[in-house]
């Protein structure tokens, strides 16, 4: 159970810290709205990348499958929050956002699997 929970904790921690930093920077007018949105997108991408990387190190599946499954877990949560809680519509912009997150999550899975194999070979 620990091997599944730890990557989720990493992802949530990155999102919370990134959100806090973004909020503070925006509150004191250090960043503009556009820069703040880019920072939040980058935080979400980094969060899923790191979580997928950590999960791929723990599991014995292929890296891109691990990244896809990790993305799917978060995609269901994000889609539910977007459509049901925030009543947002599914647009082309959100589709591109999810595809970019999927690619980075799969990349994190592949890199995590390769890092695991390199440490086992040594």
Q: What is the pTM of this model?
A: 0.92
Q: What is the pLDDT of residues 51-104, one digit of tens each?
A: 999 999 998 888 999 999 999 999 999 999 999 998 988 899 999 999 999 999
The angle that helices 33-58 and 63-80 make with each other, rounded to 10 degrees, is: 130
Q: How is residue 13 written in tokens?
A: 């921690």
Q: What is the pLDDT of residues 43-54, one digit of tens each?
A: 999 999 999 999
To 10 degrees, the CA torsion angle through 40, 41, 46, 48? 110
Parse the chain into domains and list their residue ranges: 2-121
């Amino acid at each position: 159970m620990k091997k599944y929970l730890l990557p989720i904790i990493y992802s949530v921690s990155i999102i919370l810290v990134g959100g806090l930093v973004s909020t503070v920077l925006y509150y004191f007018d250090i960043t503009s709205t556009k820069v703040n949105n880019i920072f939040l997108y980058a935080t979400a991408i980094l969060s899923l990348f790191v979580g997928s990387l950590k999960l791929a190190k723990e599991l014995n599946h292929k890296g891109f499958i691990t990244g896809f499954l990790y993305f799917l877990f978060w995609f269901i949560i994000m889609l539910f929050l977007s459509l049901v809680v925030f009543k947002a519509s599914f647009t082309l912009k959100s589709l591109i956002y999810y595809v970019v997150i999927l690619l980075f999550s799969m990349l994190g899975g592949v890199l995590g699997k390769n890092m695991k194999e390199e440490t086992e070979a040594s």
